[in-house]
Amino acid sequence: MAISKNNIAWGIRIVISFLFLLSAVAKLYPSPYFAISTFEVKQLYPMGFSEGFAPYFSRVLIGIELALGFLILQKNFLRSIVVPATILLLAIFTTHLAIETIQNGGNSGNCGCFGSLLPMTPIEAILKNVAAMALLVWLFIIMPKTNEKHDNFWILTTVTLASILALFMLAPIQPLESSFSVSTPEEAVIDTISDTTIDTTKAVIIKDTIKKVEEVKETVKAEMTEPAKHKSGYAQYFSNIDKGRKTLCFFVPGCDHCRDAAKELTEMKKTTKDFPEISIIFMNEEADLIPAFFKYAGAEYPYKIIEVIPFWKVLGSGKDTPGVKYLWNGNDYKYYWGIGDNKFDAADFQKLISKPYSELKK
């Protein structure tokens, strides 16, 4: 029995509707504000969107995705507006992904099409979009032309505006936090021996004093067993972070990988003398899980909680959780992040913190 064009058309519409609704909902997982903020930082900021414009663009974009997921199932202006608009949106996404693939490679990373719910590489997303566009072109061809004079345009605008408004209600835009910058060793201030104030009227004293200062500097340089102090940029969170050896962590309370890293650090701390003091910067996402986080880790540590977008900035562009840094007098000697090639390695960290300063010199 042959399948009618009407059944084929409905099958295509249901598939496209499912893809768009899933894409919109997935960008709100596991919670709307966290997911949208992460989408902005990881997808929109690298594209050049400003911090002020990105929150509005992200919510409007996801709202349009949600609206098209519903509108593809109704009949008003389906062939003249809805289907072409859906194809156009997919074409824009595909063009962006193609450019990203050419510039950065498309075999790794998450394109963000389905948020963190269903990670997908740019190449996988391109193939998905091309298949969806092919289905939509087929739908456009087999759909009969109809008289749209009596179609209700208000249905399109109402559904679209309602979907966009829903996004702003689910994830209200929060005021921008004050900027946070982390200085690099080259930019940081180095603490050295202070300049000595000398009576310039006595040339002999000046000469002897300069000689002594130079001798002291040479002695200090020769006998130094730890790096000169630098300003890491994290002192606003932990006042003593730039003093001595420290382990600075960037964790999300509900992140399983973060919990595992914290547990490994606790186990190492129990068996290692003079283990670098542990401090944690938590993302303000599911902060109520922090007690359970420490219970799983096996110990409690000093911590600060910061909002989602500032957290991603502090963590670093292109980086992911869990993040673990080894600092010594504010100097950054190792940074583990994410769950890929740069992920936290307990054995490597153990070797690293056992090294004297002479072996860490660059």
At 305 the three-state DSSP class reads: strand
Q: What is the DSSP letter of 145?
A: P
CA atoms of 86 and 295, how far apart (whole Å): 48
Q: Please report which helix (H) or strand (E) contains residue 282, including its range.
A: strand 277-283
| Phi, psi angles (nearest 5°) of residue 249 | -115, 145
Q: Residue 178: what pLDDT?
A: 46
Beta-bridge mates of residue 249 = 280, 324
Tens digits of residue pLDDT in 203-224: 555 566 666 656 555 545 534 6
Lowest mean pLDDT among 74-78, 88-92, 116-120, 130-134: 116-120
* 179, two tokens: 């900027």
Tens digits of residue pLDDT in 149-181: 788 999 999 999 999 999 999 999 987 654 444
Evaluated on CA atoms 351, 352, 357, 362, the torsion sign reads positive
* 11, two tokens: 């099958």
276 φ/ψ sector (left φ>0, alpha ψ -120 to 50, else beta): beta
Q: To the nearest whole number, what is the mean pLDDT of the chain?
A: 85
205 CB neighbour count, 10 Å cutoff: 12
Half-sphere exposure of 207 (CA within 13 A, CB side): 3
CA neighbor of 267 nearest in space, from 297, 294, 300, 301: 297
Q: Residue 97: what pLDDT?
A: 86
Q: What is the DSSP letter of 228?
A: P
Amino acid at 143: M
Q: Residue 278: what pLDDT?
A: 96
pTM: 0.74
